[in-house]
């Protein structure tokens, strides 16, 4: 078992889940007038949902957690709200990609209720991790019982970068060949991620070099990388 269990989500999964979610919402008989995407994970799912439901009013609110990918999250807070948006008389659906702890969606729902006088606010996500969340969204497409980091297509590069950085920080090893780093990556995150997102692994290494966190180094005639954290 890898240290951090990761599942790769493909674009085709996302579209199928958004379609399924739209069907669940339609079947409930409740129709949103406005969708509020929770930035940034909710953007693509919310846009797809609007398409499947035929909704043209799409707004956004940004909830931020620190630190980032697959690490223990500190308190969530609203970085950008909806300002003065007038939602009087509107049914509002707050949408995210995944409900994990439940903090983001709950915070966003309460913020919309406070700021903008909507008629009703409901919540939705593509996925919900029922073993982790303290808040169940009103609508979801997929229920998962065990915690995984879901590698969505819209975070492929930034996840890869933070995954590699985590290895560099934890291993405290100065020099890395590409093979050593790939092997360590598999040990931390499993084979599937490296196989399916290898292009992003290479792009993340390039970005870490651009940012000066890795430097090309000559290891006795063989190219390797020197960490500079
Ligand atoms: N954002 C918060 N929790 C997540 C998870 N388990 N997978 C992907 N993105 C997330």
Phi, psi of 80 (to 5 degrees): -130, 125
Compute, in angstroms, the gap from residue 140 CA to the centroid of ligand 1: 15
**Atom of ligand 1 at shortest range from CA of 129:** 6
pLDDT (average), residues 83-93: 95
Q: Is the pLDDT of residue 70 over 70?
A: no
The C-alpha atoms of residue 58 and residue 37 are separated, in whole angstroms, by 7
| Mutation choice for ligand 1 from 140, 144, 150, CB with most ligand atoms inside 8 A | 150
pLDDT (average), residues 118-134: 97
Q: What is the pLDDT of residues 164-205, one digit of tens each?
A: 999 999 998 999 999 999 999 999 999 999 999 999 999 999
**Atom of ligand 1 at shortest range from CA of 152:** 8
Q: Are 224 and 217 in contact (CB under 8 A)?
A: yes
1 found inside a domain? no
Compute, in angstroms, the gap from residue 96 CA to the centroid of ligand 1: 10
Residues 138 and 83 in one domain: yes
pLDDT (average), residues 88-97: 98
Q: Are 139 and 154 in contact (CB under 8 A)?
A: no
Q: Is the pLDDT of residue 75 over 70?
A: yes
48 found inside a domain? yes
Q: Which domain holds residue 168?
A: 154-227
Compute, in angstroms, the gap from residue 130 CA to the centroid of ligand 1: 13
Name the closest-CA residue to atom 6, ligand 1.
149
Residues 102 and 179 in one domain: no
Enumerate residues lining ligand 1, CB below 6 A.
98, 100, 149-150
105 found inside a domain? yes
**CATH classification of the domain holding 187:** 1.10.10.10
Residues 39 and 61 in one domain: yes
Q: Which of 32, 51, 154 is nearest to 98 (CA)?
A: 154
Report the SS3 class of residue 49. helix
Q: Are 155 and 216 in contact (CB under 8 A)?
A: no
| Mutation choice for ligand 1 from 98, 104, 151, 158, CB with most ligand atoms inside 8 A | 98
From 104, 136, 151, the end of a domain falls on 151
Q: What is the pLDDT of residue 66?
A: 72
**Percent of residues, the chain, with pLDDT higher than 70:** 97
pLDDT (average), residues 18-37: 98
134 found inside a domain? yes
**Atom of ligand 1 at shortest range from CA of 73:** 2
Q: Is the pLDDT of residue 69 over 60?
A: no
> What is the pTM for the complete model shown?
0.93
159 found inside a domain? yes
Residues 86 and 187 in one domain: no
Q: How confident is the model at residue 84 (pLDDT cuts 50, 70, 90)?
A: confident
Residues 61 and 118 in one domain: yes
């Amino acid at each position: 078992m890898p240290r951090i269990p990761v599942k790769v989500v493909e674009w085709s999964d996302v579209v199928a889940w958004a379609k399924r979610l739209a069907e669940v919402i339609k079947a409930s008989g409740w129709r949103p007038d406005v969708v509020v995407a929770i930035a940034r994970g909710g953007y693509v799912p919310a846009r797809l949902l609007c398409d499947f439901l035929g909704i043209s009013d799409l707004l956004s609110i940004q909830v931020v957690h620190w630190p980032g990918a697959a690490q223990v999250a500190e308190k969530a807070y609203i970085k950008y709200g909806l300002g003065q948006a007038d939602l009087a008389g509107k049914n509002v659906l707050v949408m995210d990609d995944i409900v994990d702890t439940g903090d983001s969606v709950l915070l966003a729902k309460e913020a919309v209720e406070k700021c903008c006088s909507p008629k009703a606010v409901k919540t939705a996500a593509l996925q919900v991790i029922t073993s982790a969340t303290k808040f169940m969204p009103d609508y979801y497409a997929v229920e998962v019982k065990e915690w995984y980091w879901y590698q969505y297509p819209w975070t492929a590069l930034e996840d890869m970068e933070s995954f590699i950085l985590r290895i560099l920080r934890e291993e405290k090893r100065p020099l890395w060949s590409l093979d050593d780093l790939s092997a360590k990556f598999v040990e931390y995150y499993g084979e599937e991620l490296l196989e399916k997102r290898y292009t992003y692994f290479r792009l993340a290494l390039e970005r870490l070099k651009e940012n000066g966190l890795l430097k090309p180094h000559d290891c006795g005639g063989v190219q390797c990388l020197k960490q500079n954290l």
